[in-house]
């Protein structure tokens, strides 16, 4: 199999920001997900809106949106993009001790929004952890993944439902 070309590495092996000025702006969409695994009792605090720090879901939603907007400040070679939409949805399964997070990022721009969607999912998950760490310090953030992306030259990607690579 041919080795993939790394666009953020020069021929000399140096990190670089890819030039996108010659690319036409197109609609770019990306969906990502993350899972927070925690004690069922801690998950129940979220579901019942009883967390001592306040509404965990509202805080995580806003944190994810804010993080997507600042993605290029966090990821060194990421271009700033003019996001037109960011959505963060959280689902609590208290019995299983899970918080499932799914994010969507959209822009009409010259480069994709995969990183924005994944940063939103990651920061939303970290916010859940921060707000509930007093109830469960052993929480884990698992499986931050790109679910789907569209727009641009590389075309459409969709992760297979069983979690395997697309």
List the catalytic residue out of 91, 130, 162, 164.
130
130 is annotated as an active-site residue: yes
Count of Cβ atoms closer than 10 Å to residue 97 Cβ: 18
Which class for 148: exposed (0-12), middle (13-18), buried (19 or more C-beta within 10 A)? middle
Burial class (CB within 10 angstroms; exposed 0-12, middle 13-18, buried 19+) of 109: buried
Could you tell me if 147 and 33 are in contact, meaning their C-beta atoms sit under 8 angstroms apart? Answer: yes
CB 70 within 8 A of CB 142: no
Could you list the active site residues?
130
């Amino acid at each position: 199999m041919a080795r993939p070309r790394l666009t953020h590495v020069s021929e000399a092996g140096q990190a670089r920001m890819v030039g996108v000025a010659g690319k036409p702006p197109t609609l770019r969409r990306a969906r990502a997900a993350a899972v927070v695994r925690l004690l069922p009792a801690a998950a129940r605090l979220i579901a019942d809106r009883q967390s001592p720090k306040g509404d965990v879901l509202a805080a995580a939603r806003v944190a994810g949106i804010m993080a997507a907007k600042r993605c290029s400040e966090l990821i060194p070679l990421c271009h700033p993009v003019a996001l037109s939409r960011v959505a963060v949805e959280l689902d609590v399964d208290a019995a299983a001790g899970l918080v499932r997070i799914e994010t969507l990022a959209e822009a009409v721009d010259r480069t994709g929004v995969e990183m924005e969607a994944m940063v939103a999912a990651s920061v939303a998950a970290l916010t859940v952890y921060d707000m509930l760490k007093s109830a469960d310090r052993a929480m884990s953030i698992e499986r931050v993944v790109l679910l789907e992306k569209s727009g641009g030259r590389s075309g459409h990607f969709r992760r297979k439902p069983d979690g395997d690579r697309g």
